[in-house]
Chains A and B, each alone.
Chain A
Amino acid sequence: MSINIALAGNPNSGKTTVFNEITGSKQHVGNWPGVTVDKKEGTYKKDRDVKVLDLPGTYSLSPYSAEEIIARDFIVNEKPDVVINIVDGTSIERNLYLTLQIIETQIPLVIAINMMDEVEAKGDTIDFNKLSEILGVLVVPIVARKAKGLNHLMEAAIETARNKKKPNNVQVFDKNIDSALLKVEQLLEDKSPDERRWKAIKLIEGDEVITNGLSDDTIKQVNIIVKEAEKEADGDTEAKIADLRYKYISKILKGIVKKSEKGHVSNKSDKLDKILTNRFLALPIFAMIMYLLFAATFSENFLLIKGLPSPGIWLAGLVEEGWGALTGGIESILSNAGASDWILSLVIDGVMEGIGAVAGFLPLVLVLFLLLSFLEDSGYMARVAFVMDRLFRHLGLSGKSFIPLLMGFGCSVPALMASRTLESDKDRKITMMITPFMSCGAKLPIYAMFAATLFAGSNKTIIVFSIYMLGLVIAIISALLLNKFAFKGETSNFIMELPQYRIPTGKSILIHGWDKVKGFAIKAGTIIFVSTVLIWLLSNFNFTGMVDMEDSFLASIGNAIKFIFAPLGFADWRASVGVVTGWIAKENIVATFGQLFGGIGDEATIEAISSGAQALPEIRDVFTQVSAYSYMAFNLLCMPCFAAVGAMKREMVSWKWTLKAISFQMVVAYIVALIINTLGNLIF
Chain B
Amino acid sequence: MTLEDLKPGQEGTVISVGEKGPARRRIMDMGVTPGATIKVIKVAPLGDPIEVNIRGYELSLRKEEAKQIQVQ
Interface residues of A (CB under 8 A from B): 59-60, 62, 64, 90-94, 97, 206, 236, 238-239, 242-243, 246-247, 273, 277-280, 282-283, 382, 386-391, 393, 491, 493-499
Contact = CB atoms under 8 A, between A and B. Distances in A.
Contact of B20 (A64, A236, A280, A498): A236
B59 A496 contact: yes
A347 B42 CA distance: 61
User: Which of A59, A92, A94, A206 neighbours the largest number of chain B CB atoms within 10 Å of its CB?
Assistant: A94
A295 B13 CA distance: 46
Interface string B36-54: 1000001111111101001
Contact of B27 (A390, A393, A495): A495
Contacts, number: 120
A277 B56 contact: no
Chain B interface helix/strand/loop/mixed: mixed
23 contacts: A64-B25, A64-B26, A90-B56, A90-B57, A91-B57, A92-B56, A94-B57, A97-B29, A239-B28, A242-B33, A246-B31, A246-B36, A247-B33, A247-B35, A282-B44, A386-B44, A495-B60, A495-B61, A496-B61, A497-B60, A498-B58, A498-B60, A499-B58
Contacts of A495: 23, 26-27, 30, 59-61, 65
Interface of B: 17, 20, 22-31, 33-36, 42-49, 51, 54-62, 65
B28 A243 contact: yes
B25 A97 contact: no
Given A239-B28, A495-B65, A387 B44 contact: yes
Contacts of B51: 277, 386, 498
A497 B30 contact: yes
Given A277-B44, A494-B60, A495-B65, 10 more contacts: A60-B25, A91-B55, A94-B54, A206-B20, A242-B25, A242-B29, A389-B46, A493-B61, A495-B60, A498-B60
Contacts of B31: 93-94, 97, 246
B60 A283 contact: no
Nearest to B24: A239
A238 B20 CA distance: 8
A94 B29 CA distance: 8
A277 B42 contact: yes
Given A242-B29, A390-B44, A94 B55 contact: yes
Given A386-B51, A391-B46, A493 B65 contact: yes
Contact of A494 (B29, B36, B55, B65): B65
B45 A497 contact: no
Contacts of B43: 279
A274 to B, nearest CB: 9
Contacts of A62: 25-26, 29
A402 to B, nearest CB: 12
Contacts of B17: 239
**3 interchain residue pairs of minimum CB distance:** A91-B57, A60-B29, A390-B46
Given A239-B17, A243-B33, A246-B31, A390 B25 contact: no
B42 to A, nearest CB: 7
Contacts of B49: 386, 389-390, 494
B29 A283 contact: no
A59 B31 CA distance: 10
B25 A497 contact: no
Contacts of A273: 58
Contacts of A238: 20, 25
A498 B59 CA distance: 6
A494 B44 contact: no
A241 to B, nearest CB: 9
A67 B48 CA distance: 27
B23 A493 contact: yes
A60 B59 CA distance: 15
A389 B69 CA distance: 20
A509 B27 CA distance: 31
B30 A59 contact: yes
Given A497-B58, A497-B59, A387 B30 contact: no
A387 B50 CA distance: 10
User: Which of A60, A236, A242 neighbours the largest number of chain B CB atoms within 10 Å of its CB?
Assistant: A242
A493 B18 CA distance: 14
B60 A496 contact: yes
Contacts of B56: 90-94
Contacts of B24: 239
Contacts of B35: 243, 247
B44 A243 contact: no
Given A94-B30, A497-B58, A389 B44 contact: yes
A497 B32 CA distance: 12
Contacts of A97: 29, 31
Contacts of A59: 26, 29-30
A279 B45 contact: yes
Contacts of B57: 90-91, 94, 497, 499
A92 B55 CA distance: 9
A66 to B, nearest CB: 13
Contact of A93 (B26, B46, B55): B55
A367 to B, nearest CB: 28
A342 to B, nearest CB: 59
User: Which of B20, B30, B48, B61 neighbours the largest number of chain A CB atoms within 10 Å of its CB?
Assistant: B30
Contacts of A496: 59-61
A597 B59 CA distance: 60
Given A97-B31, A236-B20, A247-B35, A390 B48 contact: yes
Contacts of A391: 46
A413 B66 CA distance: 38
Nearest to B26: A495
A179 B33 CA distance: 23
